[in-house]
Structure formats: structure tokens, C-alpha cells
Amino acid sequence: MGIENLKTILKNERNDISFEIKTPIISASGTYGYNTEFADFIDLNCFGAISTKGITLEKRPGNSGDRIFEVQNGMINRIGLENVGIDNFIKEKLPVLREKNIDFLLNIAGSTMEDYEKLATIANDNGIKALEVNVSCPNVKSGCLEFGLNPTSLFELVKKIRRSYNGFLIVKLSPNTSDIKPLATAVQSAGADCISAINTLRGLGVKIDFAGNKFIKKSVQGGLSGTCIKPVALFMVNQIKQVVDIPIIAMGGISKLSDLFEFIAVGADAFQIGTMNFIDPGICTNLALELSKFMDENGFKNFDELKGAIRNDQ
Amino acid sequence: MKKQFIGKINLIEKVSIDAYKMEIFSELEEAYPGQFISILCPTQTLRRPFSIAGFDKEKQLTTIIFKLKGDGTNYLKDLKIGDEINFLAPLGNTFEIENKNCLLVGAGIGIAPMLFLKKELDKKNIKNYLVSGFKSDDEVISGSDENVVGGSVLDNLEQIIKDKKIEIVYSCGPQIVLKKISEICLSCDIESQIAMEKVMACSIGVCRGCVIRLAKENEVVYASVCKDGPVFKGSEIVWE
């Protein structure tokens, strides 16, 4: 049995541009490496796409100290965008992606608008088909407020990137806001082709040990992910869908087939899987096979038909 | 090649007041001292890494020894013979075995990879001596040439190094002990290979969650314990 029924075309009618992937299941940035790190565990032929580890202009060493904290049904990370930098990515990682024919989104992050523009230009010059912009980074010029939390600065940022990049432009939204609708609207009006959501939630993990009559505190502040954030992600995707007509790639706590259906119901056109890759390194392909089988057995010819059925049946 | 395995518990037994030995029957084909496996402990988000304490290719058995620390290890201790267990293996790098006079130091549960290493060294007829340290008698896990109970495994280390003309030290245990061991080795001008431990998320080198700092060519770099390690040269580790 093939998985041809999972072929997914993310299309932005406004810009008349699309991005085609073998399955709607994409591995989320930071959980899958740069290219073939998971090849031991998955069948690359049943794989949608990889969103690369977040790439910055210069290489970054990441944060010192503890970077991971486990919580109930989730985890907190503060990796600090450790990455090889765009030059090394283009030189060392990109050729492998191309040679192995792996579809990918280049995930980028910057600390100034100029960083993002330069990264977008490099992506454009190298013929990279899809770009996912992480806007949950501190904007150095605006007192380190995140780019992605203010509709005006977000609009300006996406507009600049759009001017430098002709491929399929995806903006990854942060959930750390009181209202995500104006942010989604800003992204669409600035010319993005697609929204991915949600990035991690701000969280603080605290552990208190009592030893030798003393309390010992350990804490890690960072981004919360895992199945515990799914209701937040569903809420946010639902909100975004109400104000945009460009495709939405949904993520946040996806771990099983029924999660895919739930996200489709609120507006998802494709999915990303993050933390769950650590629990089951085969999940991106296993879930694709399971979805394909479900569609076969229940008479859904293609993914669009399934989406339509779920949304109309509500 | 590293893979995801569904193994079966072949043996689980208490080996000290708070430690257990577990043998897992699986299709794992190779494993070397220093490497670890990463076990799924349902209801916990993250897999738990365990040093391999023994591997029998013929009988297809992988051994781990674990100390009760929290929810993950409590799940493991309650498993019964015949129960299935999901793990990734073989992970990480290995101790580099050299034909030298070897001292193996296991501090507490750090004895686990040392037992595997000792067996391999014995097979190769490489001279070795394993010293393990435990807080109290009821914590002792057997298998060493010498146990230090109550005191510190570090106390007689320099003497042992001199007396036995030790040329290389292999060790695993709490960071504070490992740091001292690497310092002693530097002062004695001998090599040390240290197996490090860190909370891990992916356990295969992609998330960069379990990094430590290494001093390489006048530059401090981050290395992941799960993929670049867990074994590092003691002289390269930048201790916290």
C-alpha cells in the first residue's frame, strides 16, 4: 500500500504559490536536527518534510546550564538556538537534504530585522523552496520584545522578508499573547503564504529537593511543549482560522491519529510533530502510515477529501 | 545501527537496598562498554538513559543496573519477567579500550558501565582493577575488586595509581567525584576516560539538550552527552 493518498499541497491562492509534500506530517524545528539524523528510525519515503533546526546568521553556541526540564506530559527547553549558522548549513547540511531528496522548511531566527532579511536573501539565492520564520526571538532594537508579539513590528518584519524571498513563506506564531488574531492578520496582510502555530509556551519548571535538612531548588525557564499544550494549540489554531484564508500548519502536543482529526476540525492543513519525536522516533512516518490506512479503509481518496469531511461533519 | 527495540524482561532482581539489575532479551546485535540504552517509561514524557552493564550477544541479553530515583525507575522496578520494554539502542560512543594498566572507578550506581568494561578487558586479557564506592553496606553492588564503603572512593586513588602502575583510569559516577578523578589523573599525568550523565530529551544528538562544555584547541565548545559522549577525555571536560 502506498501513501499517495496523503499528498498535500499547501497553496496560497493570494500569491498563487504552493508547497507540495508527500504527507501532511512535518517534523518540528529543533526536534529533528538538520537532515538525516532520524534516518535510522524512519522511512524517508513516507516522510512529509523536516523543519530544520532554527538557523541564525552566525553560528550560536546555545545556553549554558541545564537546558531540559521534564514536567507532567511535557517538557521545558532552553536550548538557546544552538545551531551551525547559515553558511555551514548551506555548505554542509543542504547538499545532504538535496541528495536524499528530503523536503524541508528552512527554519530561521534573528535578533534584528536585517538578520532576517539577510537570511531570507540567502535562502532565496539558494533556491530553498520553503522558509519557516521563527518570530519568537527578542528584537534587540526594540528592547528585546519578541518580534512576533506586536502586530505592527510583525507586519514590518514579514513584509521585509517577503521582499527578499520568493519561495513559500511560512511564519511560525507564538502563543504567548493575549490575542493571536491581530498577529495572524498581520502575517497574512504582509504577504506570507502560510502560518505555522504554535511555538512553545513560556514555562517555568521548579524542583525542590529536601536533603540534609535543607531545601535545594532547581529551576529551568523556557519553552513548554508536549501533549500538555494541545488544548492551547487547538484554541490558537481555531482563532487563527477565523481571520486568515492562507494554509495553517498546526502543532502543539500532537501524538496520535485522533489529534490530527481534532486539528483538522479547527483549521489545520498540515501538522508538525515535535516533542513526540523524542518518545517515538518513528512517529512522523508511523502516523502517516496510520492516517493513510485509515483513509483507505474508510473511502477517503485524498487528504483534501478527509479535511472536507471532518469540517463539514461538525 | 541504532534502532527502536521492543525487548522482553528476562530477569529483574534487587541487588542492593535501592538498586536493581535488569536483563532484557531483544534483537540488539551489538553494544560496547560506555554505550547506553534509552528506555520509554510510560506516563513519563522523556525516555530514561541507562548505561549498559553487560551484553551477551549469544543469549541476546542486555543488562542494566539502576538505582531508584523517581517515577521512571519506579516504573522499571515494577516490571515482571516477560513484560515488554521499549528502548533505543545502542546509543552514544564507547570507552576506548587500550592495552594498558587500567583502573576502573565506579562511584555509586556509576559501577554499572564499569562492570561491562571490566568484563571486556578481562576477555582481552588486559590488566585491570575495579574500585567502587558506596555510602553504606546495604548500598554495595557486587562485582568490584575493591569496595570503599562509607568513605570516599577518592581517598586511596593516588596510592592505587602508584602501587598498580596505572596508566589509564575509566570512571562513572556523580559529577563531583568525576571532577576530582580527572584532576587526580591530570596531576598523576595519566589519561582518564569519563562517562558523563545528564538529563536527556532526544538521546540521539538532535535536540542539544544534554550538553556539557569541552575545551578543544583553546576554544570551549558544547558537546552532547548522548551523541558526542557519554565518554569524554577527563582532560577536556570543563567542569561546572
Prediction ipTM score: 0.92
Listed residue (A249, A280, A198) closest to A26, CA to CA: A249
Domain tally, chain A: 1
Q: How far apart are CA B120 and CA B3, in angstroms?
A: 23
- CB of B199 less than 8 A from some CB of A: yes
Q: Report residue B91 as a C-alpha cell.
A: 546509543
**Do the strands B146-149 and B128-134 form a parallel or antiparallel pair, or are they unpaired?**
parallel
Domain interval for residue A143: 4-63+81-201+224-312
Burial B82-103 (b: 16+ CB within 10 A, else e): eeebbbbbbbbbbbebeeebbb
Nearest-CA neighbor of B2 among B101, B129, B88? B88
Angle formed by the axes of helices A283-297 and A257-265, nearest 10°: 70
Q: For chain A, say whether B2 makes contact (Cβ under 8 Å).
A: yes
pLDDT at B2: 86
Residue A3, class by beta-carbon neighbours within 10 Å (0-12 exposed, 13-18 middle, 19+ buried)?
Answer: buried
The residues spanned by each domain of chain B are 3-91, 95-195, 198-240
Question: d(Cα A197, Cα A199) in Å, to the nearest integer?
Answer: 6
Give residue A115's pLDDT band: very low, low, confident or very high (50, 70, 90).
very high
Does any domain span residue A282? yes
Q: Which of A41, A67, A207, A280 to mutate to test the interface with B (most CBs of B within 10 A)?
A: A67
State the average pLDDT for chain B: 95
Whether A67 sits inside 8 A of B222 (CB atoms) is no
Task: Give the CATH architecture of domain B198-240.
Answer: Ribbon (2.10)
Burial of residue B240 (CB within 10 Å: 0-12, 13-18, 19+) is exposed
A7: distance to nearest CA of chain B, Å? Answer: 27
Query: Do the Cβ atoms of A61 and B204 come within 8 Å?
Result: no
Q: Helix or strand or coil: residue B100?
A: coil
Task: Give yes or no: A46 in active site.
Answer: no
Q: Which residue of A has its CA nearest to B221?
A: A61
Do the Cβ atoms of B206 and A77 come within 8 Å? no
A40 pLDDT exceeds 90? Answer: no
Check residue A313 and give its pLDDT. Answer: 66
Q: Is the dihedral of CA B64, B68, B74, B80 positive or negative?
A: positive
Distance CA B150, CA B147 (A): 10
Mean pLDDT of A1-29: 93
pLDDT tens digits, A235-287:
999 999 999 999 999 999 999 999 999 999 999 999 999 999 999 999 999 99
Does the pLDDT at position A139 exceed 80? no
Which of the four pLDDT bands, split at 50, 70 and 90, describes residue A35? confident
DSSP E strands in chain A: the ranges are 8-12, 17-21, 25-27, 49-51, 68-71, 74-77, 104-108, 130-134, 138-139, 145-146, 168-173, 194-197, 201-211, 214-225, 248-251, 270-273
Q: What integer pLDDT is reported at residue A172 of this predicted model?
A: 97
The whole-angstrom separation of Cα A109 and Cα B189 is 45
- CB contact under 8 Å between B46 and A278, yes or no, is yes
Which residues are A208's β-sheet partners?
A217
**Residues 6 or more apart whose Cβ sits within 8 Å of residue A65:** none
| Residue B5 pLDDT greater than 90, yes or no | yes
Confidence at residue A1, expressed as pLDDT on a 0 to 100 scale:
54
Q: Return the pLDDT at A143.
A: 66
How far is C-alpha A32 from the geometric centre of its chain's CA atoms? Answer: 11
Which class is B95-195 in CATH? Answer: alpha beta
Closest CB from B3, B88, B209 relative to A68: B209
Model confidence at A160, in pLDDT bands (50, 70, 90)? very high
**A79 vs chain B: nearest CA distance in angstroms?**
6
Partner residues linked to A210 by β-bridges: A215
A173 and A181 Cβ atoms separated by less than 8 Å: no
Q: Find the CATH number of the domain harbouring A174.
A: 3.20.20.70
Q: Which segments within B29-153 are labelled E, that is strand?
A: 36-39, 48-51, 54-56, 61-67, 84-91, 102-107, 128-134, 146-149
Cβ B26 vs Cβ B53: under 8 Å: no
B3-91 under CATH 2.40.30.10, yes or no: yes
Chain A: residue whose CA lies nearest to B238: A64
Q: Which amino acid is at A152?
A: T
Helix (H, G, I), strand (E, B) or coil at A236: helix
Sequence-ordered list of residues with C-beta below 8 angstroms from that of A279, at least 6 positions apart, any chain: A255, B40, B45, B46, B47
Whether the CB-CB separation of A283 and A277 falls below 8 Å is answered with: yes
Query: How far apart, in Å, are the Cα atoms of B179 and each of A187, B132, B158, B174?
Result: 51, 16, 15, 9
Alpha carbons A59 and A75: distance in angstroms, whole number: 25
Q: By three-state DSSP, how is residue A267 classified?
A: coil
pLDDT score for B225: 97
- Are A185 and A237 contacting, i.e. CB atoms less than 8 angstroms apart? no
% pLDDT > 90, chain B: 94
The contact set of A with B (CB < 8 A) is 30-33, 37-38, 40-41, 53, 61-62, 64, 66-75, 77, 79, 82, 226-227, 275, 277-282
Which residues of chain A are within 8 Å of residue B1 when distances are taken between CB atoms? 40
Q: How many CB atoms lie within 10 A of CB A213?
A: 5
Instruction: Answer yes or no: do A37 and B199 touch at CB < 8 A.
Output: no
Does the structure show a pLDDT above 70 at A180?
yes
Average model confidence (pLDDT) across chain A: 94
Closest residue in A to B206 (Cα–Cα):
A33
B33 near B95, Cβ under 8 Å? yes
pLDDT at B80 over 90: yes
CA distance A61 to B26: 38
Confidence of residue A314 (pLDDT cuts 50, 70, 90): low
